[in-house]
Chains A and B, each alone.
Chain A
Amino acid sequence: MTESAQNVNLPDFIVKWVDVGVFVIDCEMKITLWNNFMANHSGHTADKVIGRDLFECFPELPKTWLSKKIKSVFILKNFAFTSWEQRPYLFRFPHNRPITGGVDHMYQNCTFLPVKNEHGEVDSICVTLFDATDIGMAQTLLKEALDSLSESNNRDGLTGIFNRRYLEQRLSTEFDRVKRYGGEFSFVLFDLDHFKHVNDTYGHLGGDEVLCEVTKQASSLLRTSDILGRYGGEEFGIILPSTGMEGAYIFAERVREIIAKSPILFKDASIPVTISIGIATFEPDTPNYEHLINCSDIALYASKEGGRNRVTRYAPDTAT
C-alpha cells in the first residue's frame, strides 16, 4: 500500500513531486526549499544546497542580472518572469529528450513569486521553473518551416532569383519608404533580345540555360541592397535603392556590356545574347510604383525600337 494521505502533508508531497521546478530563496539569497525536479535536473540534492547561497551553488548563473531580478521581487512585491524566447534557460539543465532533442538544453519559463509573511512583507521568493523544451522546439520548427515557405514563395523556380510577386512587393515598400522619408531609387527593366530565336534554335533547354546564365551575370554586378527578380518570361527587373538616374544608367550599361560580351555555352554551341534595358527613376511626383514599372517599360520599348542591345533612360518624352 502506498503512503496514505493522512500520513503525508499533501501540499508538501505535491511540491516535492510535481513535474515543475520549485525552489525558494530568502532575502540573503540562501536556498530554503529545493524540490525533486530541481534536484534531479541539477544533480544537486536538497540536503546539499539548502542553507547555501544560490550563486555559490550555481556559479554559472548570470549573477548581476539575476540578483537584480530577485531584488525587484523583494522591493516591488511583484511577480517577475523569464521566458525561453528571450532567455532560453536560467539553469543549464539537460532536457528530457536525450534522443529526439535537437536542442542543447532544457528551455525554461520561470516565475518569481513574492512570498509574503503575515505582516505583508516579502521575506522570501518562490521560483517555479517550467520545462518549455517541447514548445520551444515546436515553435522553432514552425518558424523554420514558415521561413522556408515564404522564401520559396518569393523565388522563381528556374533561376532561383526573386519572382515577380516579391519584386513588386519590394518595389512597393521601397516606393513608400522614399515617398515618406525622401531619397532616391531607380528601377531597371531588361529583356533578352530575340529570345524566341534562341528557343527555336537551341530548344527550351538552351533557352533555360541562357536565362540562368544571364541571371548569374547580372547578379554578379549587384550591390547587397539591390534586388533582382524575374519579371516574366525573358524579362527581368532590378530595384536599385539610393540610386538616381545617372547611377542607374552606369549600372545598366555594365549589365548590358557583361552580357553582350560573354556568349553562353550550351552543349557545343556558343549562344550570343544581348539585352535591351529601360530605366525609370523615382520622382517626387511619381504617383505609385506601378507607374514606375510603366515608365521603365516605355524606356525598354524605346531600346528595342532603337535597335536593341542598348539602355534607354525614361524621360516623359521617350514615348513620343
Chain B
Amino acid sequence: MSVVVPLSEDQRDALQEITNIAMGQAASSLANLLDTFVNLSVPRINVVGVEKLPSAISQLVGRETDVTAVRQSFQGYLRGEAIVIYGNDGCKELGDLMGYDEELDRSAELELLLDVSNVLVGACLGGMIEQLKGVGENNSGELSFSAPSMMAENVPADAVINASKLTWTHALLMEVNFSLESHDFISHLIMLMPEQAIDKMRGILDEFIASF
C-alpha cells in the first residue's frame, strides 16, 4: 500500500474555500432550477487511502443503513470518478421538482437519482474548475463528463466500494449535505482520483494559494 500524502493545511484550506464557493453557486443555481430554497452544506474534505474508503463511507452514512450509489466519471484537466451515495429514502420527493409528473416507477426513480447525481457532481466540479481556471499549466478550465450510472442498489454502506478492486490509491472524500426547504435529505459526494490527478490538484492548489 502506498503512503497517503494528505493535503497540507494550506492546500486543504484553499480547496475548502474553493468548494465552499462552488457549492454556494451550485445551491443558487439549483434553487433557480427547482424553484425552492436549496441548502448545500459546507463540504467536509479529506484525502484517504482507498483501503480506508469502505470504513470511511460507513462512518459517513452510518453502518446500519443500506444505501444506493451512483457513479460518474469526469475527464479533462482533472480526471477521476465521482460517487454519490444516498440513504434509502433517497430523493423520491424531488420527483415533481425535476419535472416528473407521474407516480415514480422503479426506472423513473433510478433516472431521478442519476439526474440529481449528475446535477450535484456537475455543479460541484464545474464550480471548482471554474475558479481554478487559468491556474497551472495547460489549464483549459474545461471538464467533460460521461453519463452517470448505477453503482449499487440497496447494499450495506461498507459494501458500496470493494477496495480490493480499485486501481486507484487515493480518494478525495467530500461530504455534502443537500437539503431543501420542505424536507432534508443527505447525500454524500466522493471523488476518486488517480494519484497523478491528485498530485496535479496539489500543484494547482499551491499556485492558487500563491496567486493571492
A83 and B147 in contact (CB under 8 A), knowing A76-B119, A76-B122, A78-B122?
A: yes
A78 to B115, CA, bound (A): 11
Chain B positions within 8 Å of A67 at CB level: 99
What residues of chain B lie closer than 8 Å to A76, measured between beta carbons? 26, 29-30, 33, 119, 122-123, 126
Interface size on B, residues (CB 8 A): 26
B114 at interface (Cβ–Cβ under 8 A)? yes
Which of the segments B100-108, B174-182, B197-205 contacts the partner chain?
B100-108
Q: Which of A56-102 contact B (CB under 8 A)?
A: 64-69, 71-72, 75-83, 85-87
CB neighbours (8 Å) of A159 from chain B are: none
Closest CB of chain A to B110's CB: distance in Å? 5
With A65-B100, A78-B122 already in contact, the answer to whether A71 and B33 are too (CB < 8 A) is yes
Tell whether B24 is near chain A: CB-to-CB under 8 Å: no
> Is B111 interfacial (CB-CB < 8 Å)?
yes
Question: Across the interface, which residues of A come within 8 angstroms of B32, CB to CB?
Answer: 75
Q: Is B149 an interface residue (CB 8 A)?
A: yes
Judge whether B148 is part of the interface by a CB distance below 8 angstroms.
yes
Cα(A150)–Cα(B126), bound, Å: 43
CA distance A110 to B58 in the complex (A): 34
A219 lies within 8 A of chain B by Cβ: no
B111 to chain A: which residues have CB within 8 Å?
82-83, 86-87
Which residues from chain A contact B147 at a C-beta distance below 8 Å? 81, 83, 109, 111
CB within 8 Å of A: which B86-124 residues: 98-101, 107-108, 110-111, 114-115, 118-119, 122-123
Give the distance in Å from the alpha carbon of A75 to the alpha carbon of B32 in the complex.
Answer: 8
Q: Which of B99, B101, B118, B126 contacts A81 (CB 8 A)?
A: B118
With CB as the reference atom, state the residue of chain B lying closest to A70: B99
Chain B CB within 10 Å, residue with most, of A66, A69, A82, A85: A85
* Cross-chain contact A75 with B33 (CB below 8 angstroms): yes
| Total A-B contacts with CB atoms under 8 angstroms apart | 65
The answer to whether A81 touches B119, judged by C-beta atoms less than 8 angstroms apart, is no
A87 and B147 CA atoms in complex are apart in Å by 13
Task: Report yes or no: A79 in contact with B33, Cβ–Cβ below 8 A.
Answer: no
| Chain B hits for A81, CB < 8 A | 114, 118, 147-148
Docked pose: A80 CA to B99 CA in angstroms = 14
A27 to B: closest C-beta gap in Å: 14
Which B residues from 130 to 187 make CB contacts under 8 A with A?
144-145, 147-150
Q: B101 near A65 (CB under 8 angstroms)?
A: yes
Is B114 within 8 A of A86, CB to CB? Answer: yes
Decide: B101 and A72 in contact? CB cutoff 8 A.
no
CB of B119 within 8 A of CB of A72, answer yes
Question: Which residues of B have CB within 8 Å of A75?
Answer: 29, 32-33
A93-152 at interface with B (beta carbon < 8 Å): 109, 111
Query: Contacts A76-B33, A79-B145: A69 and B99 contacting too (C-beta < 8 A)?
Result: yes
B110 and A78 form a contact (CB under 8 A): no
Contact B108 A86 (CB under 8 A): yes
Within 8 Å CB of A82, what residues of B? 111
Are B148 and A68 in touch, CB under 8 angstroms? Answer: no
Closest to B31 in A: A75
Say whether A83 contacts B149, CB under 8 Å.
yes
B123 pairs with A86, CB closer than 8 A = no
Tell me the smallest distance from the CB of A20 to a CB of chain B, in Å: 14
A80 near B101 with CB under 8 A, answer no
A75-B32, A76-B29, A78-B126 known; A86 vs B107 contact (CB < 8 Å): yes
Report yes or no: A79 in contact with B118, Cβ–Cβ below 8 A. Answer: yes
Please measure, in the bound complex, the distance between the C-alpha atom of A184 and the C-alpha atom of B21, giving whole angstroms: 52
- B33 cross-chain contacts in A, Cβ below 8 A: 68, 71-72, 75-76
Residues of A within 8 A of B122 (CB): 76, 78-79
| B4-33 to A contact mask, C-beta < 8 Å, 1/0 | 000000000000000000000010011011
Measured CB to CB, the residues of A under 8 A from B are: 64-69, 71-72, 75-83, 85-87, 109, 111
* Interface pairs A-B: 8 shortest CB-CB: A68-B99, A78-B122, A86-B111, A81-B147, A65-B99, A79-B145, A86-B107, A64-B99
- With A78-B126, A83-B147, A86-B107 given, name 12 new contacts (CB 8 A): A64-B100, A65-B100, A69-B99, A72-B33, A75-B29, A75-B33, A76-B29, A76-B33, A76-B126, A79-B122, A82-B111, A86-B110
Question: What are 29 A-B residue pairs whose CB atoms fall within 8 Å in the complex?
Answer: A64-B100, A64-B101, A65-B98, A65-B101, A66-B99, A68-B98, A69-B115, A72-B115, A75-B29, A76-B26, A76-B29, A76-B122, A76-B126, A78-B118, A78-B123, A78-B126, A79-B144, A80-B118, A80-B119, A81-B114, A81-B147, A82-B111, A83-B111, A83-B149, A85-B149, A86-B107, A86-B111, A87-B107, A111-B147
